Every structure is written in structure tokens, then in C-alpha cells.
Structure 1
Amino acid sequence: MNLISPFKGLRPAPGRGAEVIAPPYDVLNSAEARGRAEGKPWSFLHVSKPEIDLPEDTTPYSEAVYAKAAENLQHTIDAGLLVQDEQPCYYAYRLVMGNHSQTGLVAGASIADYDTNRIRKHEFTRPVKEDDRVRQIDAVNAQTGPVLLACPDTPAVDQILAKASQGEAVLDVTADDGIRHTLWVIDDEGSIAQLTAAFNAMHALYIADGHHRSAAASRIAKMRNNQQGSGYFLSVIFPAHEMKIFDYNRVVRDLHDMDHSQFLAAVEQNFDLEPSSTPVKPEQAGVFGMYMDGQWFKLTLHAELMPNDDPVARLDVSRLARYLIEPVLGITDPRRDDRIDFVGGIRGLEGLEKRVNSGEMAVAFSLYPTSMEDLMAVADNNDVMPPKSTWFEPKLADGVVSYLLG
């Protein structure tokens, strides 16, 4: 079995992309999705967040929601807003956010290789979220939420994608958030064969975002005994060097029964502490920003605590947890402790200040972003990252290409 496969993609009809594509299902809650879809009858949110078309007290995990998703997808197809390619294709997909651009490949990724860890993971899944994706895929008989994958840098892949993106795009939409989404079809046999061969030569692919979607696809394949179409899952694969990871910052509700001076003294056990007149955005590993009581501080981890050959322990999210959040603030399980919350770097340092200044949180920490090299090292070591270690931007849109099962 090949590592990747072309497929007959289901995508917006010519000129209808702006009406269809929508933010990924897991970045909006039901109320936000309902607002974003208002007045947009063909928005893919009606498929990915179908509870918006049901009474507001409907639980997102009810049978009615999955049935509505299937109904809405079929309605969109019947109305001609979504069309399926007649032959298996690959697709070049470009995301542009400000000055940043990245071009990847839309393909089916092998579930067999996922199961044997050639497509590598770096985080645990939650059963309730995984079950939700299984039920959604099974109900609509399609994979509509792509998994974001990274591949090792391969010039042959870059060249084919560059050539494909010089042709006529079948979709070119700038979404409400300013992100530009552009799609090209790759349907010539030579390019398809070259891409398949180039990926077969790779030792691994890496899940960047979409652990629940890929796990659900694997379960669906087993449920359906690997019938035609279920042996691959919908993915968008970007060269690792093009991907952009933002910082994933922390806010904590209280100082664990300490006053400010006691807290600062405890922090100084492991960090050099320097007040700053401006917000602190760390520019290297081992340096953190801290904001409390209207004041920013620059924290530098003591040098003797920095060296570590363990790929998880050397992450800054791990260092902050090990040397401050756990021993000083008493938070040992960030997955379940409601005293801690996480703020994606896309919200800027102002987002941290806002949470503290409102009185909701007592202290905030800004971090240096996890690198793609770190992510790949953790996955290669068959390890798991701490929760909320990576925040990828720009986000893939739902509805650009979907993968119909057999």
C-alpha cells in the first residue's frame, strides 16, 4: 500500500467556494458557529457543526446532530454547490496569512501506515472527541475535516507543487479572517506518479493537528473491514520548513495561597527575574515572559537546568511546568486542573494582559514557540507532548476538499 493516494475529491463548484468554505469545526463553539453561518445557507458549518440547524438546547453529540450533518451534506451536493472529480487526483493547497505562505498537498494518507506509526503522533486523544469524529464520519460517509500533516523537506515535492500552483486555480477565496485559500487540481498521471513515489521514499509523516480525526478514520476502517475508500484518511501535507507554529501561552487563576513577594521569591529559585517596561515575547528557548499585577517580567531559566537530551523534557512547555507551574503553583495535571488555561499566540500578548487585568487570572506566561524539529523528535521517539504545546496558523478550512468513502 502506498503512503499516500489520490482520490476523487468533493469540492466547491466553480465560483461557489466563498459560499462554502468555513473555519474548522473545532475552533468554534456552537454559538459562534451559529453566528458565523447566519445568512449563509451553504456554509460548510451546516455539515461540520450541524447542531446550528437544530434547537439551541440540542447536545452536539446527539443522534439528531449526526443525521443532520448527513442530510445537510447531501443537500449541498444535490444543489450543485459541491461536485466530485471524476478521476482520482491530488490537489495543491496554498494558505496565505499576511506575509506567510505555505503550499501543501491534499491526499489520502494511509491508515495502515498510521496504525504502524509511520504516520507519527505526538499527543493523546480524548475518548469523547474521538467517538464524536467516528460517529460524524460514519454518518456522512465522508471525511470532511482534513488532518494537518508535516513531511520531511523533499525538493521533488516542492517542485511539483510549485508547478501545479502556476496553473489555473479551481478555488481562490479570502476568508473572513483574512486567510487566503487557493486550490489547484493535480490530475496528470506523471505528476501523480512522481508524488506517490516521492512520498513512498519518506521514512515518516507527522501529525501536526488532527489526532482525533486520524484515530477516528482508523476506527472506521476497522469497522468497515477496510472496504474500498476507507483505507486512507483526508490529509493536507505541508513541507515541515513551511509550517508556522505560534507560541501556546499559559494563564493561571491564583498564586497558590502566596502573596506577590512570596511568589516572586519562589520563582527566583529556578529563574533569573528581570522586570520589563514592555511586554516580553521570548526570542529563544529557556526564556519566558511573566505578567502579573500590571507588570511584565523576563524569566530566564538557570543555565544548569537547561541541558536535556530528552525530546519532551527539553520543550519549553515542559520546562515551565517542571520548574514553576508544578512546584510553585501546585498544578500537576494541566489536562484536568481548571486553575490553568491556555491562550494561542495568535491572540498576542494583549490576550494575556486582558485575562489578568480583568481579574479572571492572577498571572500569565508567554513562551517561545515549539519548533517543528522538536515536534518531529518527540514523535520519532514515540513520546507524547504536554497538552497545548503547539498552535498552528494559518488554519485549514473545512469544505475545500472532502473525501467520500466507498
Structure 2
Amino acid sequence: MTKILPFKAVRPAREFAGLVASRSYEDYNEEELKAQLEFNPYSFLHIINPGYKFQHEIGGEKRFGMVKNRYLEFREDCTFIQDELPSYYIYKIHTRDGDCCGIIAAASVEDYENNVIKRHEDTIAHREELFKEYLKVIGFNTEPVLLTYPDDPVINELLEERMRSRPEYEFATANKEIHSLWLIDEPENIERIKQQFAAIEQLYIADGHHRSASSWLLAKESRDQNPDHTGKEAYNFFMSYLISESNLRIFEFSRLIKDLNGHSKEEFLILLDEWFRIENRGIDIYKPSKKHHFNMYLDGEFYSLYLRKHNAKFTDALSELDSYILYEKILKPILGIEDLRYDKRIAYIHGRNDLIELKTRVDSGEFEVGFGMLPAGIEEIKQIADENLTMPPKSTYIEPKLRSGLTIYEF
């Protein structure tokens, strides 16, 4: 049984929505960021980059307070308003690849704590703590955790019914996406959605493991410091975007390695031969079509690597995961990559970018070798979470990616 509640979002006034909404801060290059900050006074980037107002780079805890100040300025100027009634928010993204839509709502930290909301990635303690302190100072959350649930015909019907009406927001972006948002604030529809989610036994984190962990830490601290704690306080919940499994888009990450760890090309291929059937594909671009098949680009040529069947001895869901096989059979023992997060010899390309980028970066001399694989499926991700296992870092790149600043959860 999951607890998914409506909330009173702080959000842009209708006329400002398209101007406020921004991509993730890290998604902008330096020129794009400067243009947004210089020519769009309504961009949410002004809030998360508060030092721009003074033409000064500000970091650390001083930045946290300034983020809150910029946010309060947006509220005082009525760029942001707050809904009077608790609502669920339907968010739809139309792309060239199709549509995806889901519900923005408040998820329970108690469900996270009790593993009703399941995770499949490890988190880093100091990042959890840093983001907890950030949330504590600014007092709001604008990046929802992406949660997924099995397709539900009742929820689908409710969404379809509401989406036949005029959206509260509808705007296009430079990458040819159309973003739309609707409110559901009628008591009878709110109750139907609440009860429908209550009948779902488990939810799975698709993206946002650190955000959910930090929200949980903040809730624990707030609970311990509040002698009148009831469990209904806003800090007991975190903003989430709930999307059905069929709406989820999962891509892989390719791996790029700077050197062969002292091995010659010939020595490296011989070491690979113990675990894989190797076929030189020459200059023909090769992309795997099956699990346990990998592509490799080395010295101007593509190779296919097929895990040898007699070596395919799996003990749990994690041991069958292709990103884990690549790590256990090649990256760690042969190439000496122990730490997938921090080793400076490894880099990643998400599956939204094609193999031409992998080839280009190896041909440039920046990297020596690149590897690719098929993306993990949702059932693999769920099984790993169900077995309380964790994937290697950068195992999945999951969409949709929401725009920041369209719904804000205060606590």
C-alpha cells in the first residue's frame, strides 16, 4: 500500500510558465547558460544560480541562502503563485519519439524508509548530507523523484479524461518538445487517485535516488526536532513524478576508457577471449541486439563481444545485468577500473547519443577503447530492487526528464 497525496504547488503564473521552465542546470553549456541568464529574467536558472545577479560565482552554504532569497523574490513579484487547493498535477511531454505523461504528487518518506518505494542504486553519503542541508535551508523542492508503477487502467482513464480539457500550461521548447500541465483538484477525483495508488503494493525509483534519500534524512531530522510531530507535516513527503512502466524510456550508457592498462592491443584481445567470442566488424558500426552481447570500438574498428555460454553462470538478478558483466569481466580485472564513479580513466555517453560520438571520441585520441550494450529492461531493474541489490553506477539513463520550476513543493 503506497501513500501518494496531492499538495498545494507553488508554480508560475500561466503567462510566465514557458519562460520560467528550464532544463537541468548541468544540461546547459556555458554560452547557453549565459544567454538564458542575460536575456530571460524569468528563468528558473536565476534561482539556482543566484550569484549571477552580482556577477559573482557563489558556492557552499552561502549559496543556499541566496537561492532561497531569489526564490522569495519570484514569489513576491507574483511570478510564482501557490494553489489554494491540494492538487495532483498531470505533466505530459510530447516529443518526436512519442508522448509520455504522469502525475506529480507527494510521496511518503515512510514508504521509502519501509522499502515500499524501492531503489536499485547506491547513494553516496556525503552527497545525501549536502543535499539534505540544501533542502533544509531553502525549504522547497523543485526536482521530482521519478517513480514508476505498473500500468493501471483506472489511472490511465482519469488522465485521458482530464487531458481532453485545456491545459493550465502548454508551451514548446527549442528542442521541439511540447510540455503541458493540468490540475486535478476535485475532491472526488483526488480520492479516486489516492485510493488507486493505495492499492499498488510497491513503487520503484527510476531516477532520483539521492533526492529521495536526502528528503528522508531531512524528514528524520525534522521529526526528531519536532515534539509535536504528527506525521502529516510537509517534511514527511517529497515531490515525485509518477509514471507508468509503459511510459518509461530506458537507455544504456556506453563506457569510454582512456588506456588499456598497460596492455598492447593484441594482449588485450587475448585476455578478452577467455570470456567472450570476438568478431572483428571492421569499420561497420555494430550495435548489440541481444542481452550479454557487447560492442567495442578499438583502434579504428568495431568488434562484437558475445559472452561465452559456458561462462554464463548467474546467481542472482545483478549477475545477469550487462553493465555488471562488463565491469566484472573487463573493466575491473583487465582494465583496472575499480571505482566506476570517480576513476578519471572512465567516462560515459548516455544512449540518447549514438555510436558516432563514441567512435569520434576514441578516434580523437581522447580515449583508447569504448564499449556499448543494450539498455536494461524495467523487469531487470525491478528484480534487482526486489532482491535488495544495487546496479553499478551509470547502468541506466531514464527519461522523461522534466523541466525545472513548473511545480514546487514547500515544506
TM range (shorter): over 0.9
Q: Any idea what the Cα deviations from partners look like across 1:240-262, whole Å, max 9, x if unmatched? A: 12100111110001011111112
> How far apart, in 2, do the equivalents of 1:56 and 1:279 lie?
46
2:266 paired with 1:268: no
Mapping for residues 159-170 of structure 1, pairs under 5 Å:
159-170=157-168
Return closer, same or farther for 1:42/1:228 CA change in 2, 3 Å cut-off: same
Residue number in structure 2 paired with 1:345? 351
Residue number in structure 1 paired with 2:378? 372
Amino acid at match of 1:337: D
> How far apart, in 1, do the equivalents of 2:52 and 2:94 lie?
29
Residue number in structure 2 paired with 1:42? 42
Residue number in structure 1 paired with 2:394? 388
Contact 1:30–1:52, Cα closer than 8 Å, also in 2: no
Residue number in structure 1 paired with 2:227? none
Contact 1:96–1:394, Cα closer than 8 Å, also in 2: no
Q: Any idea what the Cα deviations from partners look like across 1:38-75, whole Å, max 9, x if unmatched? A: 3122111222343444555533xx22211111011111
> How far apart, in 2, do the equivalents of 1:368 and 1:214 lie?
27
Amino acid at match of 1:178: K
2:62 paired with 1:64: yes
Please identify, of 151-160 and 50-59, the stretch whose mean Cα deviation from structure 2 is larger.
50-59
> How far apart, in 2, do the equivalents of 1:382 and 1:46 lie?
39
Residue number in structure 2 paired with 1:229? 234
Q: Any idea what the Cα deviations from partners look like across 1:255-309, whole Å, max 9, x if unmatched? A: 1111111212221221111222322222221111111111111111112233525
> How far apart, in 2, do the equivalents of 1:237 and 1:224 lie?
25
Please identify, of 269-278 and 383-392, the stretch whose mean Cα deviation from structure 2 is larger.
269-278
Task: Describe the SS at the equivalent of 1:360.
Answer: coil
Return closer, same or farther for 1:30/1:151 CA change in 2, 3 Å cut-off: farther
Task: Describe the SS at the equivalent of 1:328.
Answer: coil
Which ranges of structure 2 fall in alignment gaps of 5 or more residues? Answer: 224-230
Contact 2:102–2:244, Cα closer than 8 Å, also in 1: yes
Q: Any idea what the Cα deviations from partners look like across 1:213-236, whole Å, max 9, x if unmatched? A: 111111222222256211110000
> How far apart, in 1, do the equivalents of 2:372 and 2:295 lie?
5
Contact 1:280–1:288, Cα closer than 8 Å, also in 2: no
Amino acid at match of 1:154: D
> How far apart, in 1, do the equivalents of 2:332 and 2:151 lie?
37
Contact 2:277–2:307, Cα closer than 8 Å, also in 1: yes
> How far apart, in 1, do the equivalents of 2:404 and 2:191 lie?
27
| RMSD of equivalent CA atoms | 2.0
Amino acid at match of 1:129: R
Amino acid at match of 1:135: E
Q: Offset of 1:390 from its aligned partner?
A: 0.7
Q: Offset of 1:195 from its aligned partner?
A: 0.8
Amino acid at match of 1:205: L
> How far apart, in 1, do the equivalents of 2:89 and 2:80 lie?
16
2:240 paired with 1:242: no
Q: Any idea what the Cα deviations from partners look like across 1:94-134, whole Å, max 9, x if unmatched? A: 12221221110100001111111101111122233223322
Q: Any idea what the Cα deviations from partners look like across 1:342-364, whole Å, max 9, x if unmatched? A: 11111211221122111111000
TM-score, with length taken from structure 2: 0.93
Task: Describe the SS at the equivalent of 2:319.
Answer: coil
Residue number in structure 2 paired with 1:330? 336
> How far apart, in 1, do the equivalents of 2:51 and 2:368 lie?
35
Q: Offset of 1:173 from its aligned partner?
A: 2.1
> How far apart, in 2, do the equivalents of 1:215 and 1:35 lie?
34
Return closer, same or farther for 1:53/1:211 CA change in 2, 3 Å cut-off: farther
Return closer, same or farther for 1:223/1:28 CA change in 2, 3 Å cut-off: farther
Please identify, of 82-91 and 122-131, the stretch whose mean Cα deviation from structure 2 is larger.
122-131
Contact 1:24–1:145, Cα closer than 8 Å, also in 2: no
Match of 1:94 among 83, 92, 95: 92
Which ranges of structure 1 fall in alignment gaps of 5 or more residues? Answer: none
Amino acid at match of 1:150: T
Task: Describe the SS at the equivalent of 1:221.
Answer: helix
Return closer, same or farther for 1:92/1:147 CA change in 2, 3 Å cut-off: same
Q: Offset of 1:196 from its aligned partner?
A: 0.6
Mapping for residues 178-217 of structure 1, pairs under 5 Å:
178-217=176-215
Contact 2:89–2:103, Cα closer than 8 Å, also in 1: yes
> How far apart, in 2, do the equivalents of 1:353 and 1:36 lie?
32
Residue number in structure 1 paired with 2:104? 106
Task: Describe the SS at the equivalent of 2:358.
Answer: helix
> How far apart, in 2, do the equivalents of 1:264 and 1:251 lie?
17
Q: Offset of 1:369 from its aligned partner?
A: 0.3
> How far apart, in 2, do the equivalents of 1:31 and 1:127 lie?
33
2:296 paired with 1:290: yes
Residue number in structure 1 paired with 2:408? 402
Match of 1:317 among 316, 323, 331: 323
2:40 paired with 1:24: no
Contact 2:253–2:395, Cα closer than 8 Å, also in 1: yes
Mapping for residues 103-142 of structure 1, pairs under 5 Å:
103-142=101-140
Contact 2:2–2:116, Cα closer than 8 Å, also in 1: no
> How far apart, in 2, do the equivalents of 1:29 and 1:112 lie?
38
Match of 1:177 among 162, 171, 175: 175
Return closer, same or farther for 1:5/1:30 CA change in 2, 3 Å cut-off: farther
Q: Any idea what the Cα deviations from partners look like across 1:13-45, whole Å, max 9, x if unmatched? A: 112111101112454588864454331221112
Contact 1:110–1:232, Cα closer than 8 Å, also in 2: yes
